Amino acid sequence: MVKVPFALNAQGGVAFPQKADRGSKWACPACDAQVIVKRGSILTPHFAHKTAATTCAGGESIAHRATKEWIASIVATPDFKITSRCNACGEKFNAFRGGAGLVGGTEVTMGAYRVDSVAKRANGSVAAAFEVRHTHATGPAKMKTLLAATMCNAFEIRASSDLVEANYPTAFESMRPIKCPICIKGALATRRANTERSRALAVRAIGRKWKMLAKSAIKERLRRFTQRWLFLARVSTVARRAKELHQSEEGKRFKMCATCNKPVELFKWVKTAGAQWGYTQRRQDYQHDGDCKGFKNVYHKECETPWCNECLEIKAPGKWYACERQKRRKCDDCEQWKLLKNMHSFVNPPKSRFPKSWVCDSCAVECRLCDEMISQTQAKYGGACFTCNRRAKRRRMGHTGESEYYCICGAMKSPEFDLCYNCAHGD
């Protein structure tokens, strides 16, 4: 047996089983057959055909009509509400809620359209409009008209296929996504800010135009009006702040050279696409005495700095820095530092402090057995170098050939190697 969600009385009025009188006569809205009230503590209240042999199947239109009639009957209850999901933040919220001061109605004419259900106020104005979708969606022109007439309180909801099975719901979801009140306030605030900004830009543009027109003496009144606008815009204050900002920026961009006391440009502003303000800093070519944590003094690229550009060691009065010391050696006899190209090296005995020593041209003495130049101290031992003296001693002791513990240069080595480290690596 078909469960009928609502019925019609003798005058054609609509009634629902929750409050329908059992003793009255009720007719099915689909087939006009007599129906009776089924209301108990177990089943959901509904109407049923009095005769079980009926051929009524409800039809598709009864779901649409039942939904809109049900909405019109519950708009005055606080339990009735329309929910929706915000199309901006995605949160679900209550878009409309019923109230005691509202009266429902169906098939109400609004402009050139008829609305399925409406909620009216006590003064007769429409508080909200409800379109029930059953076979097709509401047209955009109609929905636009309803939104304008109800202050955006127009909703399209899906028709309930069976109100009885759904237990006569009081909450419906809007099929047309709308914005929640929080997002609406945010959008209004953004629009208000954009409007204020547009007005400010328009005011400045008008002010510049008025300033040009004010040069004409025959438009004195317009000139005074322009001066008023310029006063309100505080042009002098803006110019002063811009000048202070420019001077502050120039103070960071330039620094005095510690050598010539002239400004050194540290960076330049270069126009760059995609940058935050349209410009980025490009570092200029200069020298400084700092590290990654910062620097104290800066210098031009061509100015003399207090450090060596090759070894980066600070120059001190009366002292050679690292790369200069690398070019010089100390003479073993006169103990003076001279250029390496004017010095001669010779091998020291194994237990000496250094494996090699150096002697200058003026102090050098030629070994009487080889062509090596040695110091005067070394020449005291028979006028020969350490290598020649070692070989002569081995011959006197009856040894032939070189010792496995000495290199050909005279330096000590391990027996498993043919040459010492210095001779093997060319040092």
Residue 262 has pLDDT above 60, yes or no: yes
Between 160-164, 179-183, 226-230, the lowest mean confidence (pLDDT) is in 226-230
So what's the pLDDT on residue 194? Answer: 93
Between 386 and 421, name the one with better pLDDT.
Answer: 386
Among 42-51, 194-203, 210-219, 244-253, the range of highest mean pLDDT: 194-203
Q: Does 87 lie in the same domain as 47?
A: no
So what's the pLDDT on residue 58? Answer: 54
Q: Does 168 lie in the same domain as 77?
A: yes
Backbone angles phi, psi at 379, to 5 degrees: -70, -15
Q: Quick check: is 272 in a domain?
A: yes
Q: Does 175 lie in the same domain as 106?
A: yes
Q: Does 117 lie in the same domain as 209?
A: no
Joined together, the tokens standing for residue 324 give 């200069």
Q: Does 264 lie in the same domain as 161?
A: no
Residue 331 has pLDDT above 80, yes or no: yes
So what's the pLDDT on residue 44? Answer: 80
- Of 316, 318, 314, 342, nearest in space to 328 by CA: 342
Q: Does 49 lie in the same domain as 79?
A: no
Residue 159 has pLDDT above 60, yes or no: yes
Q: Does 225 lie in the same domain as 162?
A: no
Q: Does 172 lie in the same domain as 88?
A: yes
Q: Quick check: is 311 in a domain?
A: no
Domain count, the chain: 5
283-318 pLDDT, tens digit each: 888 888 776 566 788 888 888 887 776 676 777 766
Residue 427 has pLDDT above 60, yes or no: no
Q: Quick check: is 261 in a domain?
A: yes
Between 80 and 227, name the one with better pLDDT.
Answer: 80
Question: In the predicted model, what is the mean pLDDT of residues 156-176?
Answer: 84
Residue 410 has pLDDT above 60, yes or no: yes
So what's the pLDDT on residue 293? Answer: 63
Q: Quick check: is 167 in a domain?
A: yes
Between 268 and 10, name the one with better pLDDT.
Answer: 268
Question: In the predicted model, what is the mean pLDDT of residues 378-406?
Answer: 81
Q: State which of 37, 58, 79 marks the end of a domain.
A: 58
Q: Does 188 lie in the same domain as 92?
A: no
Between 96-100, 291-295, 410-414, 422-426, the lowest mean confidence (pLDDT) is in 291-295
Q: State which of 39, 58, 77 marks the end of a domain.
A: 58
Question: In the predicted model, what is the mean pLDDT of residues 328-337?
Answer: 87
67-122 pLDDT, tens digit each: 888 888 888 888 899 888 888 888 888 888 888 889 888 888 888 888 888 999 98
Between 98-112, 159-173, 361-375, the lowest mean confidence (pLDDT) is in 159-173
Q: Quick check: is 314 in a domain?
A: no
Q: Quick check: is 239 in a domain?
A: no
Residue 126 has pLDDT above 50, yes or no: yes
Q: Does 174 lie in the same domain as 87?
A: yes
Between 56 and 367, name the one with better pLDDT.
Answer: 367
Q: Quick check: is 28 in a domain?
A: yes
Residue 261 has pLDDT above 80, yes or no: yes
Percent of the residues in the chain that have a pLDDT greater than 90, as a whole number: 4
Q: Does 365 lie in the same domain as 274?
A: no
Percent of the residues in the chain that have a pLDDT greater than 70, as a whole number: 92
Q: Does 17 lie in the same domain as 112?
A: no
Give the domain range for residue 73.
68-179
171-194 pLDDT, tens digit each: 888 888 888 888 888 989 999 999
Q: pLDDT-based confidence at 1, cuts 50/70/90?
A: very low
Q: pLDDT-based confidence at 17, cuts 50/70/90?
A: confident
Q: pLDDT-based confidence at 224, cuts 50/70/90?
A: confident
Q: Quick check: is 20 in a domain?
A: yes
